Amino acid sequence: MSTLHFVTLAPFIMAIFVPIIYKKFRHLHTGWFILPLPLILFIYLFQYLPLDGSPMETVSYSVSWVPSLGINFTVYLDGLSLLFALLITGIGTLVVLYSIYYIANKKEEPLNNFYVYLMMFMGAMLGVVLSDNLIVLYVFWEITSLASSLLIAYWFHKEKSRYGAQKSMLITVTGGFSMLAGFTLMYLMTDTFSIRGIIAMADVIVTSPLFIPAMLLILLGAFTKSAQFPFHIWLPDAMEAPTPVSAYLHSATMVKAGIYLVARMTPVFGGQAEWFWIISTFGLFTLLWGSVSAVRQKDLKGILAFSTISQLGLIMSLLGLGSAGYHYEIIDGTSLPIVAVLAAVFHLINHATFKGSLFMVVGIIDHETGTRDIRKLGGLMTIMPITFTVSLIGIASMAGLPPFNGFLSKEMFFTGTLNSATLDVFNVGNFGVIFPIVAWIASVFTFIYCMIMLFKTFTGKHQPEKLDKAAHEAPIGLLISPIILASLVIVFGLFPNLLSYTIIEPVMQSIMPGLTAPGEQFYVNIYHWHGFNTELFMTMGVVFFGAFIFLNQKKWQDTTFYLRERDPLNWFYDNGLTGLINGSTVVNNVQMTGRLRDYFSYMFIFLIAIVSFMLWQSNALAVDFTNITEIPSYMYFVSLSLILCTIVIPFVSKRISAIVLMGVVGFLVALLFVVFRAPDLALTQLLVETVMVVLFLLVFYHLPELRKETFKPVFRLSNLIISIGVGLVVTLTALSVHAYSYENPISPISDFFVENSYALAGGNNIVNVILVDFRGLDTLLEVLVLGIVALGVVVLIKFKARKGEDV
């Protein structure tokens, strides 16, 4: 166990102690005890950053878990893992601090639950990004789904919370399972679960027939987790969670797990046309869909949820476009697809900072005014000046305005899409032009919802009568975390090159390994002013058109498009779920009638089907009468009476006659035993039949009075057909076995008994010797059965359960 293992497991260990702390120290908010942990982890991870600009050294430690299956808990820290681990611990620290003031009512809120779930989530997320083993990654991945659902349903008495939690659980777990299937296929192709081992065998995977299924299954996992179209519908409903949860899980960390997975798998799949097209188109479509839907929202968290979806789509599409970089040799400048990867990584960091701060700000507004509805809010600029400032910074960055970091990453996004338009691989051709156009339209919508968010909340008329509380500035404790994040937005905006060789370059090395010469680094230089080029004009167009549409909002704010908030895709989810439940009920009701007659029909039909299929399949059907012994004439008489009695029984209308006929059948069978020279069997059969008739008569005496004489067999054609079918199949099987035994004679074991019964067991009655000596165990267990039956009868009759008594 290395220190990095403890980094992953520390939150889980902490989670164990949370309830104890909560019970023991009721007077102090539990969050204060949690706060140091992510901070210490952050500081510890921070020292891995290559601060002097040299290439980052990766570290890896392994602990055996299930070595026989190749499953080891291997932690692997490279640029990509480090970036995510820093985000998780860093924003985790701020979120814990924020939650201390946000969930301040420590008497009524179950704080222990909250922090246990949060610690579970943090540990699982660290496990996902640090693990080198696919199965371990999958385990942690599912724990994040579980913890996320628990956190969404934190206020479980609310109907909407439970709905959101169930929805996110169903969608992300579906993706998780398919991802597991994808991982299994990877194991089949490469015989290892280690990600580094798989990357080393990328050429094997790409040529394998399992390549496409594995890729699609893994992408399904990544897309569901990262809320890509059409799986994004769970994210807006997850906004029922407490705001610290939304800020942490649904903006900065968990929804980026899919991004992480795609980035992690890029060295394996990148450079393939399928990967390029799927990820870029889905990403771009999600970007457009999310930004358009965000404009329609009236709830601040709803806007942020769709904004997150849209920005995740942006990052995803950039990763897809960047994967084209595998078709170029050593990279030198910024004019090649590799700039898309740079933009993706940079925007990932930026998005975590500004979206985290915006969620926290929205939480503050909700906390201080009692609503998040933009139709009720307004004029908060002078009342909440600090909140306003932080929001302004975050929103400006989200909209992509200088001098904030969002501007830089959006410019690079435009560069990336423009570069991709001129790609000469993957048959991009004229389709490439669509990339920058879609990007530009989505940016316009992004600008519009940013303006809606800012102006509807902070400007206009203050409407105190619509608010539940008198609005005032938040306590300083709530403001610390958003202020820190907003300062990072400015710092990264003004000095972006603080990041370039400390973290962005190592991340690019792990997403695109082997593209630089050994010892060399990617060229990363981010700057504000890059001349009057296409990107700058596109940004100016975004600002101009966005402002134009926003200012003309009177013309479109009454359209149905704007008034309907729910994503239309929810229709498919809701109807799909109810349809699934109703469909299963229908299928169940059709098949499970509760009538024994129907179940017997199923069993017999199945028997007929499988036996006749096997007879046909193995060509075993054979009827061979050549070797049969001669039939004596009295046998015809015995058999005919037997058949006659049997056939008559179903048509007899009185029970007593049926019992007598059954007795006759039994005695005729005894006669057959006599004919076939089995005296013991004949004796037993006679006696058993006598006792059976006595029993039948006893039972008959006890039948209820009312229905005694109403017994009349009902004729059913289906039953007749099934009965005839069973008889036919069994007869044919018997005949075939007979014919087979003549073709392939096997010496029967009875010869041994005949020869040795006297010598070995001292008896001449072979049947009895077999029963008590050669096969005594069978006899012992048969009489045991008799004993059990007798006791069963006694229990059934003597110990009847009273009405309402539990048996």
Partner 1 sequence: MKNTPVQLHVITRIVAFIILAFSIFLFFAGHNNPGGGFIGGLMTASALVLLFLSFDIKTIKKVLPFNYAKIIASGLLLAVLTGMVGMFLGRPFLEQFFDYYQLPILGKTELTTALPFDLGIYLVVVGFTLLVILTIAEDDS
- Where do contacts with partner 1 occur on this chain (CB under 8 A)? 679-680, 683-684, 687-688, 690-691, 694-695, 698-699, 702, 761-765, 767-769, 771-773, 776-777, 779-780, 783-784, 786-787, 789-791, 793-794, 797-798, 800
CA dist 249 and 243 (Å) reads 10
CB of 776 to partner 1, least distance (A): 4
Q: Which is nearer to partner 1, 593 or 690 (CB)?
A: 690
CB of 704 to partner 1, least distance (A): 12
The first and second tokens of residue 269, run together, are 């799949």
174: left (phi over 0), alpha (psi -120 to 50) or beta: alpha
Dihedral of alpha carbons 780, 785, 791, 793, sign: negative
CA dist 91 and 251 (Å) reads 10
Overall residue count recorded for the chain in this entry? 807
Q: Which is nearer to partner 1, 415 or 757 (CB)?
A: 757
CB of 708 to partner 1, least distance (A): 17
Q: Which is nearer to partner 1, 107 or 702 (CB)?
A: 702
Omega within 30 of 0 (cis) for the link into 403: yes
Q: Which is nearer to partner 1, 717 or 797 (CB)?
A: 797
The first and second tokens of residue 358, run together, are 């915006």
Q: Which is nearer to partner 1, 532 or 701 (CB)?
A: 701
Q: Which is nearer to partner 1, 104 or 692 (CB)?
A: 692
Q: How far apart are the first and last CA of the chain?
A: 54
* Residue 591: partners with Cβ closer than 8 Å, 6 or more residues away: none
* Residue 415: partners with Cβ closer than 8 Å, 6 or more residues away: 334, 339, 343, 535
Contact 324, 266 (CB under 8 A): no
CB of 638 to partner 1, least distance (A): 21
Largest CA distance in the chain: 116
Please give the torsion angle defined by the CA atoms of residues 314, 224, 204 and 514, in that order, rounded to the nearest 10 degrees: 30
Question: Which residues lie across from 373 on neighbouring strands?
Answer: 299
CB of 779 to partner 1, least distance (A): 6
Question: Which residues lie across from 299 on neighbouring strands?
Answer: 373
CA dist 688 and 779 (Å) reads 17
Let me know if 318 is exposed, middle or buried by CB neighbors in 10 A (0-12, 13-18, 19+): buried
The first and second tokens of residue 450, run together, are 């940013």
Question: Which residues lie across from 61 on neighbouring strands?
Answer: 75
CB of 710 to partner 1, least distance (A): 23
CB of 771 to partner 1, least distance (A): 7
CB of 143 to partner 1, least distance (A): 52
CA dist 225 and 109 (Å) reads 29
518: left (phi over 0), alpha (psi -120 to 50) or beta: beta
Q: Which is nearer to partner 1, 212 or 790 (CB)?
A: 790
379: left (phi over 0), alpha (psi -120 to 50) or beta: left
CB of 133 to partner 1, least distance (A): 51
Q: Which is nearer to partner 1, 609 or 691 (CB)?
A: 691
Contact 251, 308 (CB under 8 A): yes
* Geometric angle at alpha carbon 260, from 259 and 266, rounded to 5°: 90
Alpha helix (H) residue ranges in 25-66: 31-34, 36-46
Q: Which is nearer to partner 1, 330 or 807 (CB)?
A: 807
Measured N-to-C along each axis, helices 338-369 and 476-494 cross at an angle, to the nearest 10 degrees, of 160
Q: Which is nearer to partner 1, 712 or 800 (CB)?
A: 800
Measured N-to-C along each axis, helices 111-130 and 3-24 cross at an angle, to the nearest 10 degrees, of 180
CB of 671 to partner 1, least distance (A): 16
Contact 398, 355 (CB under 8 A): yes
Q: Which is nearer to partner 1, 595 or 802 (CB)?
A: 802
Q: Which is nearer to partner 1, 159 or 705 (CB)?
A: 705
CB of 784 to partner 1, least distance (A): 6
Q: Which is nearer to partner 1, 631 or 706 (CB)?
A: 706
CB of 796 to partner 1, least distance (A): 9
* DSSP secondary structure letter of residue 16: H
Omega within 30 of 0 (cis) for the link into 632: no
Cα 450 to Cα 80, 297, 306, 398, 503, distances in angstroms: 30, 12, 12, 7, 29
Q: Which is nearer to partner 1, 706 or 777 (CB)?
A: 777
CB of 663 to partner 1, least distance (A): 15
Cα-trace Rg, the chain: 38
CB of 798 to partner 1, least distance (A): 7
CB of 790 to partner 1, least distance (A): 4
CB of 683 to partner 1, least distance (A): 5
Q: Which is nearer to partner 1, 429 or 679 (CB)?
A: 679
CA dist 560 and 141 (Å) reads 39
SS3 content of the chain, % helix, strand, coil (to 5): 70, 0, 25
Q: Which is nearer to partner 1, 63 or 794 (CB)?
A: 794
Q: Which is nearer to partner 1, 7 or 769 (CB)?
A: 769
Contact 543, 401 (CB under 8 A): yes
The first and second tokens of residue 106, run together, are 């420590």
CA dist 2 and 521 (Å) reads 29
Q: Which is nearer to partner 1, 486 or 769 (CB)?
A: 769
CB of 701 to partner 1, least distance (A): 9
CB of 669 to partner 1, least distance (A): 16
Let me know if 182 is exposed, middle or buried by CB neighbors in 10 A (0-12, 13-18, 19+): buried
602: left (phi over 0), alpha (psi -120 to 50) or beta: alpha
